[in-house]
Each structure stands twice: as structure tokens, then as C-alpha cells.
């Protein structure tokens, strides 16, 4: 069988913050790809503002480098399980993976999630132990941890014989030795290991064409762009080809443009052959998993698996008294068009119309997946409201099942008891506990996904910010009865429209935690704080001090109030209860009751209690 020795296709997988994107930047810099004057940003592969701010990869990216006469396609994959849908499809396009592992932290849950999928597809792994320059680095133990993980995930004998490269991506050094003094000022050790161990693609250019779409992109000029791999044959610009749809139907179209990858750019190519990764345009409704074939030999490749959404939220037009003040796009038509646009590229997302024309049910892979969509929309000028996230139940063998997550927690020993207690109340079961030294404990739990909604904020306060939590979807299991993970405290709800005053806030400080600063505009029904009891309390935060002509003995003392807790988008989504909305605008994030009027709200609550 003829091989294309000039080509290699690899994916880079790693846990969030283990240096994957930095490593790709170094590979780009040190290859024969970029001009000497090309400047690379610190996170060149993360093109989205949110990716740069949070230091995470959300969308899979393609790049390619030339090294010693070889073309190496590199796919940078998301490390977060909420974007697992991307991961699985990327792995179909490559022949091997580089697993980047932090020399101190070792293997982590998201590493496990992606690696399991790579091993199932029989891909060859190369392990890069990164950050070996850290004083706390323990490379030998980390390699043992990787080996244990591979055994646990069912790797075959060949996969267990993985090569290891030790590197410091931030310094641009690498070596085949775990001794820090042997580090060389180049990435050659990684490149040479890739060429030696990653299988070259099979050269089947003379056979009938098969190209499968793994990722989607969208461009205003050419419409949908299908990104994928040529598995068989040759494709040329201007060719008449047959597209086999997911449902088995066939459509013919002409290939208007083929783009290959080099460095950070897409470059136009006239033809592509088996093994090449390309982007294809020319057909409006091309979709993930579909196969582009030879007109005379229309043979479809096996369909790609797309992970089902596990969480849903309602997106609706803003109905608060401040509606339309701060947003550029405020109508239901704007909202619907934007959500439909997102569906063009995000196949893990689902959008369904509801009985109300102003309301849409949006389902995704988790809180992070949906909150990033919301954040992108508000930055683009959209103003809308969202409801509390709910898990999506699934009927299996006549019984309702709910999604469960595997949670890994690293925390100082002193907070261990509080974490176990809090997760116990959320129906979590401990699967493992290891003392990792230096007074640190690592615990693994299995927990219903709804138990994690809103837990991140509580976790940070329990561990005083010293805890690290990572979670990944595990499986669907039978539904656990009873409410899980609900907010324990009620809210402080404004009764009036107006501006929050220092005097009004001072009078409420002993009732709970305030969310607004003096001078913030509020409206009746808006949530201005968290009550320190279980019930909601209607308050007057706009109250002004009555002026009199009697001088106070403390007149010259300045009124001092506690610093308010300003809620981020994520915190607001996690804080919300079922009868509340989060109002999202380009300038503000406000929490509110769904029913703004106090008496109507009380009537609705009484009715609910009767039904219960």
C-alpha cells in the first residue's frame, strides 16, 4: 500500500492551561513556514476575544507547518468537555495525536475525555510533557500517570509503547531526555518524533473520490465552508461532484474553491489528493458528516457521531422596563436570525421555536457552551433575556435518565470535609480520593449534571479560591428523585423604579448581600441582592434619607457601605432560580423576577404551593 511520506495529520489534545496553544505557536515559529518578519501573537491560534481572555480554546483550529520537506497539518482541539462535539470529529481527520501534559499537574479529566476518544479510533499517541522548567515539575511520575491512564482507558499494546518528548513551550525548548539540563533551543525533538511515529496517510489518489465534512465555517461571500479530509481519490477546482446528505439523498454541485492550510492562513489550491485536509466551498447546505464523492461512484463514508446536548435554556426578547435602552439588536427577529446563524457552524447546538414567537429553546453541551454563546451575542450588540439552565432528560428502555458528570476536585485538605458535604447534598458519589502531597487532596465524584448548576460559585467560597474543579460528561443514568442543587437563599427584590441610594443600601446590609452600587438604576421586580434567609424579600433600595434642619452629632462622618458583589454573566446564570430571568445587554447584566409585580408574584407562588 502506497503511503504519502511527505504528509502527516495530527491533533493536539490537552487539558485547559497545559500549554497546548503556546506549543502550537512555537511549532509555527520554529518550522520552515512563516516569513522571518511575521509576528505571532501570544495566542495566535485563539482567534476569538473570549478565547484570548479566558485562555481556553473553544473552536477547533487548523494550521499547518513545513518541516524538512514534510507538510504537517496540526489541529488544535478544545480541552473543555462542553466542546467535545468538536473533538470527536477532528480525531476522524488525523492519524495520530500529541498529548500535552503539564509536568506538575499530570493527567486531568478533560485529558481523559479526549484521549479515550482518540484511543477508541486507534490513533497513535505521542506524549509531550510540557513546563519541565517549573521548579515543581515531576516529569517521571507524570509519564507513569499517563501510562496508568492509557491502561485504564483500554489502550492496545502498540499505543502503550508511546514516545515521550520533554518540553518547555514558553521557552521554545524540547528534548527526548527528562533532564532539564538536556533541553535544546528548538522544537526539533517534537517534529522528528512526529515524522518517526505518526503514520503517513495512504496514497489512493487514483481511486474514486471520498471527502468527508468534519467541521463547518461560514463566510458572507461564499456561504458555508466544509472542512474535512480527502479519504480517497483526487478533487480539483471546477469538478462536478455528488454530495451524499445525512439522510441518504444526493445532490450534484461544482467545486468553486479549494483551500489548503499553511501557517495561520488558508491558501487556495487547484487540487487536493487523499490524505489532504482542505476547506471546500460551492454548496450552501453542506453539513457535518456528509460525503463528497465521485459522480460515477457515490459511496458514503460512515456517519459521524455528534454529541447530544445535555442542557437547555430559554432565550427570549427583553421585557423589562429598561428594554431597548442599551442594545442594538432587540427584536425577536434579530434574536432568531442570530441563533440560526450560530447553527451554521455549531453542530452541538439546537434551537427550537416555542409557542411564543419571542421565545426560543436553546440546547447545548453545558453551561460553558451556552454562556459563551450569550457572551458573544452581548458583545455583538444583542439585548435579550435567558432562563435558568435545565438538564435534558432522555428516555432509555422506558425509564427516564439524566446526564451525570465526572468531577475531579483538587483542594487543600482543610476544605475537604466541606466539599464532600456540599457535593453530598447535591447527590454526588465519591469514586476515588488520593492524597497528592503538600497538603493537597484529589477527589473524583460522579454527580447528576443538574447538581453542578450553580456549584462553581459555592465551590470557590468553600475552598476560599484555592480549589480547582474540572468536570466532564460521563453517561446517562436513571433520574435521581427530588430537587438537587437549588439555591438555598432567597433574594432581595426592588419594589420601586429609581436609583439605588447609599442610604437604601445601608439599611439592607444586615438583610443579605447587595448586588448593586449606589447610583445604579433599578426597577420593580429586579433582584438587587441575596437574602440571608430562604424567602424572597421585597425591599426599597431607592430610599433617600429625609432631610431635616436638625444637625446630627455624626454629621461629618461619611457613610461607608460594604463593597457590593457585582455578578458576572456566569455567576448570574448559576445564581438564577426557575422563576427568574437574567437580562443581558451589551452594557449590563441584571437579574430579575419573571413576574415583576409583587402582588401578582405572590399570587403565582401561592398557586404553585397548592399544586405541590
> 314: annotated binding-site residue?
no
User: Which of 115, 98, 108 has the alpha carbon at shortest distance from 155?
Assistant: 115
> 19: annotated binding-site residue?
yes
User: Which of 120, 117, 95, 92 has the alpha carbon at shortest distance from 288?
Assistant: 92
User: Which of 66, 83, 70, 65 has the alpha carbon at shortest distance from 13?
Assistant: 83
User: Which of 538, 529, 511, 533 has the alpha carbon at shortest distance from 599?
Assistant: 538
> 242: annotated binding-site residue?
no
> 20: annotated binding-site residue?
yes
C-alpha distances in Å from residue 556, one per residue of 94, 179, 519, 544, 553: 72, 67, 21, 18, 8
Instruction: Specify whether the CB–CB gap between 25 and 46 falls below 8 A.
Output: no
> 131: annotated binding-site residue?
yes
Phi, psi dihedrals of residue 243, rounded to the nearest 5°: -100, 120
Q: Record the cell numbers describing residue 404, joined without a space.
A: 451525570
> 21: annotated binding-site residue?
yes
Residue 261: which residues within 8 A CB-CB, separation 6 or more?
62, 63, 64, 73, 267, 277, 278, 279
In what helix (H) or strand (E) does residue 335 lie, and over which residues does it extend?
helix 332-343
Strands (E), 131-208: 164-168, 173-175
> 63: annotated binding-site residue?
no
> 133: annotated binding-site residue?
yes
Alpha carbons within 13 A on the beta-carbon side of 217: 18
C-alpha distances in Å from residue 405, one per residue of 15, 114, 193, 310, 477: 17, 15, 35, 11, 10
**Residue list, annotated binding site for GTP:** 17-22, 130-133
**Residue list, annotated binding site:** 17-22, 130-133
Amino acid at each position: 500500500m502506497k503511503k504519502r511520506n511527505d504528509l502527516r495529520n495530527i491533533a493536539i489534545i490537552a487539558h485547559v492551561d497545559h500549554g497546548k496553544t503556546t506549543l502550537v505557536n512555537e511549532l509555527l515559529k520554529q518550522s520552515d513556514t512563516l516569513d522571518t518578519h511575521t509576528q505571532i501573537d501570544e495566542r495566535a491560534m485563539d482567534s476569538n476575544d473570549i478565547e484570548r481572555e479566558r485562555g481556553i480554546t473553544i473552536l477547533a483550529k487548523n494550521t499547518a507547518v513545513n518541516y524538512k520537506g514534510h507538510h504537517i497539518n496540526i489541529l488544535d482541539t478544545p480541552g473543555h468537555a462542553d466542546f467535545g462535539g468538536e473533538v470527536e470529529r477532528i480525531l476522524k481527520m488525523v492519524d495520530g495525536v500529541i498529548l500535552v501534559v503539564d509536568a506538575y499537574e499530570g493527567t486531568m479529566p478533560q485529558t481523559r475525555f479526549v484521549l479515550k476518544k482518540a484511543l477508541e479510533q486507534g490513533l497513535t499517541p505521542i506524549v509531550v510533557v510540557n513546563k519541565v522548567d517549573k521548579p515543581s515539575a515531576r516529569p517521571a511520575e507524570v509519564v507513569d500517570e499517563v501510562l496508568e491512564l492509557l491502561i485504564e482507558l483500554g489502550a492496545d499494546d502498540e499505543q502503550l509503547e508511546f514516545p515521550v518528548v520533554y518540553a518547555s513551550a514558553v521557552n521554545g525548548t524540547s528534548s527526548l531526555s527528562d533532564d532539564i539540563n538536556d533541553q535544546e533551543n528548538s522544537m526539533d525533538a517534537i517534529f522528528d518524533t512526529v515524522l518517526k511515529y505518526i503514520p503517513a496517510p495512504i496514497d489512493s489518489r487514483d481511486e474514486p473520490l471520498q471527502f468527508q465534512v468534519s467541521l463547518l465555517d461560514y463566510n458572507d461571500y461564499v456561504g458555508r465552508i466544509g472542512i474535512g479530509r480527502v479519504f480517497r481519490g483526487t478533487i480539483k477546482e471546477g469538478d462536478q461532484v455528488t454530495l451524499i446528505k445525512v439522510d441518504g439523498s444526493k445532490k450534484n454541485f461544482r467545486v468553486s474553491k479549494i483551500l489548503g492550510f499553511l501557517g495561520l492562513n488558508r491558501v487556495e489550491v487547484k487540487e487536493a489528493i487523499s490524505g489532504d485536509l482542505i476547506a471546500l466551498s460551492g454548496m450552501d447546505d453542506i453539513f457535518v458528516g456528509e460525503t463528497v464523492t465521485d459522480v460515477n461512484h457515490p459511496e458514503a463514508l460512515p456517519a459521524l457521531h455528534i454529541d447530544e446536548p445535555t442542557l437547555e435554556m430559554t432565550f427570549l426578547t427583553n421585557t423589562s422596563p429598561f428594554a431597548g435602552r442599551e442594545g442594538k439588536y432587540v427584536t425577536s427577529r434579530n434574536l432568531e436570525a442570530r441563533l440560526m446563524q450560530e447553527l451554521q457552524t455549531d453542530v452541538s447546538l439546537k434551537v427550537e421555536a416555542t409557542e411564543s414567537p419571542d421565545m426560543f429553546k436553546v440546547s447545548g453541551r453545558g453551561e460553558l457552551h451556552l454562556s459563551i454563546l450569550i457572551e458573544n451575542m452581548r458583545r455583538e450588540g444583542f439585548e435579550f433575556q435567558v432562563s435558568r439552565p435545565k438538564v435534558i432528560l432522555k428516555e432509555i428502555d422506558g425509564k427516564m435518565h439524566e446526564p451525570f458528570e465526572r468531577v475531579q476536585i483538587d483542594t487543600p485538605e482543610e476544605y475537604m470535609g466541606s466539599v464532600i458535604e456540599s457535593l453530598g447534598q447535591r447527590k454526588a458519589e465519591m469514586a476515588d480520593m488520593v492524597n497528592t502531597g503538600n497538603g493537597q487532596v484529589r477527589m473524583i465524584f460522579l454527580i447528576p449534571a443538574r447538581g453542578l448548576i450553580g456549584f462553581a460559585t459555592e465551590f470557590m467560597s468553600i475552598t476560599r479560591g484555592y480549589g480547582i474543579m474540572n468536570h466532564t460528561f460521563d453517561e446517562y443514568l436513571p433520574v435521581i428523585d427530588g430537587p438537587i442543587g437549588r439555591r438555598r437563599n432567597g433574594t432581595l427584590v426592588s419594589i420601586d423604579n429609581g436609583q439605588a441610594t447609599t442610604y437604601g443600601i445601608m439599611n439592607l446590609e444586615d438583610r443579605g448581600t447587595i448586588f448593586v452600587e449606589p447610583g445604579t438604576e433599578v426597577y420593580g421586580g429586579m433582584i438587587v441582592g441575596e437574602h440571608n434567609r430562604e424567602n424572597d424579600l421585597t425591599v426599597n433600595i431607592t430610599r433617600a434619607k429625609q432631610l431635616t434642619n436638625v444637625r446630627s452629632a455624626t454629621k461629618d462622618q461619611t457613610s461607608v457601605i460594604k463593597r457590593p458583589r457585582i455578578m458576572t454573566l456566569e455567576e448570574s446564570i448559576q445564581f438564577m432560580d426557575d422563576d427568574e430571568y437574567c437580562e443581558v445587554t451589551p452594557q449590563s447584566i441584571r437579574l430579575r423576577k419573571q413576574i415583576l409585580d409583587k402582588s401578582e408574584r405572590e399570587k403565582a407562588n401561592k398557586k404553585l404551593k397548592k399544586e405541590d
